[in-house]
Amino acid sequence: MANSPAAERILGEDDVRALLRAEAPHLAALPLTLVADGWDNAIWRLGDDLAVRIPRRELAAPLIAHEQRALPEIGPRLAGVGVSTPVPVVAGRPTATFPWPWSVIPWIDATPALGVARSANTTWAPALASALATMHVPAPPDAPHNPVRGGPLISRDAPMQERLALLHASRPLRAAWEDGLRSARSDERVWIHGDLHPGNILLRNSGLAALIDFGDVTAGDPAYDLAAGWLLFDSQGRHRFRMATGSRYDEPTWVRARAWAAYLALVFLTLSDDRPDHRALGVSTVTELAGG
């Protein structure tokens, strides 16, 4: 079990304003309020329409750089199907007092899907399917590399087996994982979000509004993103989600997606001591996997 990691850098309001004065002085005097202090980043609301996204530990710093590389390419594609993304308005560079990249991004006025009843998500399942099909296009050679997300399932078998051993009621997870290991491997190398769980999906008026937190964006197997079908939906919503993708993904891809959902459920179950909402997501995902 694990709690969220401690911050290695804690910036106050004056520190954030100093970063803004160095890169975007026209924004430095806007109202500034800390609104989130997450696993990897702190988020400060800047005025009415912007936010400042700042890494709070060294391991998170490359994730900001990944967003700065990928979102100017992915964001407009998703905007074309009505889905917002936090495309950086300012790609902040390290300074003499702060050693990591940081960004000014749009403030998206919407709420996370985390904690929303699965049955309520059915209505926007086709919209998510459309967004993913739009994003899952061949990625360029310089796409950010991620050693975990979107690779072959076998590359994560060792940690999966370790986590399975921690749980007594792990049969649905083990079955889904073993089915995935037996499925055909993917040779696709498309853009994938890399962290598509309900906390990174925003809703407005009971519909899909935005995908956020692209720090794990990479090129790889789209099955990793499709695992969201088991994290977000009940069986009816998952059926609508899959049907809306048409023939874009073959059967082995869906088998691998279910395996990745099992992997992610275990992550939420074993690494969420201080996040009961994430642990609840892991529990409900196990139930969905048990039902198919």
Q: What is the pLDDT of residues 100-158, one digit of tens each?
A: 999 999 999 999 999 999 999 999 999 999 999 999 999 999 999 999 999 999 999 99
- Cα distance between residue 146 and residue 156, in whole Å: 13
- Percent of the chain whose pLDDT exceeds 90: 88
Least confident span in 39-43, 60-64, 189-193: 39-43
What would the mean pLDDT of 255-263 be, rounded to a whole number? 98
What would the mean pLDDT of 236-243 be, rounded to a whole number? 98
pTM of this structure = 0.94
- Which positions ≥6 away from 29 have C-beta within 8 Å? none
Regarding predicted confidence, which is higher, 271 or 278?
278
Q: Where are the domains of the chain?
A: 13-106, 111-290
Please, are residues 198 and 112 in contact by the beta-carbon 8 Å criterion?
yes
Closest CA to 10 of 89, 86, 97: 97
Q: Given CATH 3.30.200.20, say whether it is the number of domain 13-106.
A: yes
pLDDT digits (tens, 9 = 90+) for 10-27: 899 999 999 999 999 999
User: Given pLDDT bands bounded at 50, 70 and 90, which one contains residue 3?
Assistant: low
Lookup: tokens for 190: 């498309």
- Cα distance between residue 76 and residue 263, in whole Å: 31
pLDDT digits (tens, 9 = 90+) for 210-227: 999 999 999 999 999 999
What dotted CATH number matches 111-290?
3.90.1200.10
Please, are residues 230 and 289 in contact by the beta-carbon 8 Å criterion?
yes
| Residue owning tokens 């005025």 | 47
Confidence at residue 1, expressed as pLDDT on a 0 to 100 scale: 41
- Which positions ≥6 away from 227 have C-beta within 8 Å? 196, 257, 258, 260, 261, 263, 264
Confidence at residue 292, expressed as pLDDT on a 0 to 100 scale: 75
